[in-house]
């Protein structure tokens, strides 16, 4: 296979997440060996699993809790994303209104409340994760995207969400780019370092008496007469309750396999930039930025003033492949580098230091969902579709409600309790995803939403951002 030559700005790029280099790796936790017994076993050591364990400890101070992770905690999607921490559990206000109009107000309120509570937990437990609640700038390039931002502005006004419309000089003072012609700035939005978030959650869990086992992939979940059995390569875990937080990994509950698909997203991080370089593009604050395309870009500053630039390509590989080699895709890195030069000609000579990809657990409605099985003893949450940095905490609480047998505002939501549309088997799955992506790309070019996308809209199926 011919590997394309990398763009000149990628000549010295490191093929790994920048976030890995931003933290000191803690000593590994032991793997499962022999027989282990606990009251609650959490399978998966990413954001969802670690939040579940930490919040379970607050609910049940005397119970034994164990996290079982296949590799290293935070080493998969949780440590590879952009670190955008949204005040939403529903993939935004517009998505809530579109899919669940009767409960949109509740979803929006709970999303904002969840971000407040996440910020409080960071302070309460002394978690230093480079948390910055400095807002987000949403950008539009074409007239139909500007119309979309105007609709977003109206929706925000309806629910009392603070925002500011930007055009002309007002926009260039926030970001100066020949590509973007209008913007909507929302103040209540946060960023964090996702690798530090995972590491700090892991640290606090250990300090709170949660057992963590790494390098212990669970091969089987089986009910037994006195509880549940989790089988690993070197030992068994018997638990009274189990929370499944494996997201895009092949699910232990096989019927969930068609509920999400693995979609690869790619990211670049630049060398550190000077204040003069940042001033050249008018980026004065610490807010995050995203544009309004179906194939969209997201960008933000790191703590040392690098620019993270990611998105656009969203690649589904035939058969739902999940190979580590797929996290490196020169075609996507070249495309991102060239798009960056067009968006910011004043920075056309900068170099990128890191390039990587990660997997998004994509549901057909772009939001998380939860469930509970085995007589209320096994809960699960998945389908975050790239919005899990903050929503994972909400999902953790939802799973704990279910395992407690509680009916709460969270568990009564249609969004969380109703399963999404299931993806068809191959090859229909691959063909369907490719057709939808082709239609979305066409809409980005001409603003026309074709019959296929309108049909998906009517069925409650979404493949947009």
Q: Which two tokens stand for residue 230?
A: 């989790």
Average pLDDT over residues 408-433: 94
Over the stretch 272-331, which tens digit does the pLDDT of each residue have? 999 999 999 999 999 999 999 999 999 999 999 999 999 999 999 999 999 999 999 999
Over the stretch 93-114, which tens digit does the pLDDT of each residue have? 999 999 999 999 999 999 999 9
Question: What pLDDT score does 180 carry?
Answer: 98
CATH 3.50.50.60 fits 23-81+195-259+366-417, yes or no: yes
Using an 8 Å Cβ cutoff, are 165 and 152 in contact? no
Considering the chain, what is the average pLDDT of its residues? 95
In this predicted model, which residue has the larger pLDDT, 215 or 461?
215
Average pLDDT over residues 8-20: 96
Rg (CA), the chain: 22
- The CATH code belonging to domain 8-19+96-191+261-362 is 3.30.9.10
Residues of the chain with CATH 3.30.9.10: 8-19+96-191+261-362
Distances from the Cα of 44 to the Cαs of 16, 71, 77, in angstroms? 22, 9, 11
Crossing angle of the two packed helices 451-459 and 428-446, in degrees rounded to 10: 110
Burial of residue 47 (CB within 10 Å: 0-12, 13-18, 19+) is buried
Residues of the chain with CATH 3.50.50.60: 23-81+195-259+366-417
């Amino acid at each position: 296979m011919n590997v394309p030559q990398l763009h000149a700005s990628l000549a010295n790029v490191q093929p790994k997440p920048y976030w890995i280099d931003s933290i000191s790796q803690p000593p590994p936790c032991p793997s499962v060996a022999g027989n282990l017994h606990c009251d609650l076993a959490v399978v998966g050591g990413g954001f969802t699993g670690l939040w579940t364990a930490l919040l379970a400890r607050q609910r049940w101070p005397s119970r034994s809790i164990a996290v079982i992770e296949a590799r290293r905690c935070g080493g998969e999607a949780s440590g590879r994303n952009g670190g955008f921490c949204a005040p939403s559990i529903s993939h935004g206000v517009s998505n809530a209104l579109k899919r669940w109009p009767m409960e949109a107000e509740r979803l929006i309120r709970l999303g904002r409340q969840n971000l407040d509570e996440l910020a409080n937990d960071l302070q309460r437990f002394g978690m230093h994760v480079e948390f910055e609640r400095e807002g987000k700038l949403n950008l539009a390039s074409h007239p139909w995207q500007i119309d979309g931002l105007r609709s977003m502005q109206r929706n925000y006004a309806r629910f009392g969400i603070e925002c500011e419309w930007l055009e002309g000089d007002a926009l260039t003072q926030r970001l100066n780019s020949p590509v973007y012609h209008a913007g909507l700035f929302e103040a209540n939005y946060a960023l964090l370092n996702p690798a530090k978030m995972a590491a700090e959650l892991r640290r606090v869990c250990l300090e709170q008496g949660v057992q963590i086992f790494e390098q212990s992939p669970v091969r089987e979940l089986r009910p037994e007469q006195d509880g549940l059995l989790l089988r690993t390569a070197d030992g068994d875990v018997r638990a009274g309750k189990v929370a499944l937080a494996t997201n895009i990994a092949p699910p232990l509950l096989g019927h969930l396999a068609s509920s999400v698909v693995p979609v690869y997203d790619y990211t670049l991080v630049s060398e550190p930039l000077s204040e003069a370089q940042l001033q050249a593009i008018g980026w004065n604050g610490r807010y995050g930025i995203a544009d309004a395309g179906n194939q969209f870009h997201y960008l933000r500053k790191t703590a040392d003033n690098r620019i993270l630039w990611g998105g656009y390509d969203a690649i589904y590989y035939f058969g739902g492949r999940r190979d580590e080699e797929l996290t490196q895709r020169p075609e996507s890195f070249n495309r991102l580098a060239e798009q960056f030069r067009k968006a910011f000609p004043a920075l056309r000579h900068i170099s990128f230091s890191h390039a990587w990809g990660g997997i998004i657990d994509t549901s057909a409605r772009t939001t998380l969902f939860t469930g509970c099985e085995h007589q209320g003893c096994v809960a699960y949450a998945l389908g975050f579709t790239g919005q899990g940095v903050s929503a994972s905490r909400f999902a953790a609480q939802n799973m704990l409600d279910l395992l407690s047998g509680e009916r709460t505002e969270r568990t009564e939501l249609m969004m969380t309790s109703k399963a999404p549309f299931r993806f068809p088997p191959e090859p229909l799955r691959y063909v369907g995803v490719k057709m939808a992506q082709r239609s979305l790309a066409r809409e980005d070019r001409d603003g026309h939403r074709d019959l296929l996308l309108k049909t998906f809209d009517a069925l409650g199926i979404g493949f947009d951002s």
